[in-house]
Amino acid sequence: MNKNFIKLSDQEIIRRKKLYEIIKLGINPYPSEEYYVNATSIYLIKFYEYGKNVIISGRIIRMRIMGKASFIEMKDKHGIIQIYLKRDSIKNYDFFFKKLLDIGDIIGIKGFLFKTKSNKTTVHAKKIKLLSKCLRVLPHVKQDETGKVHDSFYESEQRYRMRYLDLIVNDKTKSIFRKRTKIIQYIRNFLNKKGYLEVETPILQSIPGGAIARPFMTHHNALNIPLYLRISNELFLKKLIVGGLESVYEFSRNFRNEGIDKIHNTEFTILELYVSYKDYFWMMIFIEKMLEFLCVKIHDKKFIKIGYNIINFNIPFKKITILDSIKENTGYDLYGMDEKNIIKICKKINVKIDNSMGKGKIIDLIFSEKCEKKYINPTFIMDHPIEMSPLTQIHRSKKGLTERFELIINGNEIANSYSELNNPIDQLKRFREQIKLYNKGDNEAMLIDCNFIRSLEFGMPPCAGIGIGIDRLIMLLTNNKCIQDVLFFPQMK
């Protein structure tokens, strides 16, 4: 058994003793029946009515125990309200309430409204019911006369490992996750109004496809076959486009067996959207409108401030090709250059590569290290070399390039979009080039998905697709620097 569950602090021992005393009184400290409530803290304060009978529930966060009367502050999902308890009104006031209840306990209160001499809305309790006994001590956040906060629960690793406790004591955390839900709802409504169909595709896949990433592997016992947690849902959604659904999207939970840092988590949410008879130019206009819409919905304006930066979502966004960006930031023009010469340039500009990398990964690394962080306002990085984009249409006018863009905001990639490759012969050729990289040692290279090739052979219409990193977008719109701050339960070591 975990030692944390064996060794108890003095306070935890005291609380367990209180638990046994409560049981001796014939009170169930963890009742299962419904506790009906007819109001919330914010409603009672906003629509105060003297003498109104109310039933509320919540967690005790402060207690002021006096002789014949006491005050507690109780927190529900909307806010905090004061409760007044008097010896004459509450059964077992001296023994049960004063001696056996603690900060952190969840209680139900029946009583009526009044205001104290300081004009504070208060519930005069007539009945109190214990709904759940708290056996651990909550962090006790205190604020001094200058407004400085003491003993707060703000250490990052603790907050991520004990998110439940973070949510109890830090209202800012609740606010972030409420905004997360709203942002996803706004996106879903935006897409639904355009008639796009929300779908679901498999999480367990026989071939990990649709992205360049290392997968997690498992085994299906009944079928006796290896399976992979999806790294992308792209190929499945394209099969639906082949099937004639024309416009589909999915909020996809993806899994990539890679490192963890401020913008990467092994498990993350991405929005994938595919629209038939469109191209990547159309998709640029689409994402501009959607992000401008989201910024206004969340912030009531078309810009946000992050640190010292003002990020402006006014349309149109800046556009630059990836090779022009590299040339602008390093002085080297890689257009038409072979892999050997690009490797020589890497040495000159101090970009470290390894032998498993192909031309596409090397260019991507150069951009990531020398260019990406310089784009603060929304910027489309366009027209990637074909080696970087195995699922993308060849550029209609620029040899060796593809019709692809990445959207960079505040120095991070937020979205990735293509004019989707629908030529099955070319797609098979691209997959075979990826196999060469895999055999070279690139364990993130794509495998050949014969089933996907077969679907393309039935004919896929011209199509624009985009993947939007929902977690990174929420980081941006809620002004958070770490992806762990917008995930309820991030992966931890």
Give Cα 322 distance to the centre of its chain. Answer: 28
d(CA 241, CA 362): 32
Q: What residues contact residue 162 under an 8 Å CB cut-off, 6+ apart?
A: none
Element spanning 408, H or E: strand 404-409
Are 475 and 485 a contacting pair, CB within 8 Å? yes
**Phi–psi pair at 244, nearest 5 degrees:** 95, 10
Element spanning 104, H or E: none
Element spanning 335, H or E: none
3-state secondary structure 249-293: EEEEEEECCCCCECCECCEEEEEEEEEECCCHHHHHHHHHHHHHH
User: Closest by alpha carbon to 196, among 237, 253, 239?
Assistant: 237
Are 301 and 477 a contacting pair, CB within 8 Å? no
How do strand 121-132 and strand 80-86 relate by DSSP bridges? parallel
d(CA 485, CA 482): 6
Q: How far is CA 423 from CA 69, 385, 427, 455, 456, in A?
A: 79, 18, 6, 11, 7
Q: What residues contact residue 271 under an 8 Å CB cut-off, 6+ apart?
A: 187, 249, 250, 251, 252, 466, 467, 468, 470
- Coil, strand, or helix at residue 122? strand
For the chain, the first-to-last Cα distance in angstroms comes to: 20
> How many Cβ atoms from other residues are within 10 Å of residue 236's Cβ?
22
406 among annotated binding-site residues: yes
Are 202 and 230 a contacting pair, CB within 8 Å? yes
> How many Cβ atoms from other residues are within 10 Å of residue 127's Cβ?
12
Tokens of 342: 């690009």
157 among annotated binding-site residues: no
Residues at the annotated binding site for Mg(2+)? 406, 413
Residues at the annotated binding site? 406, 413
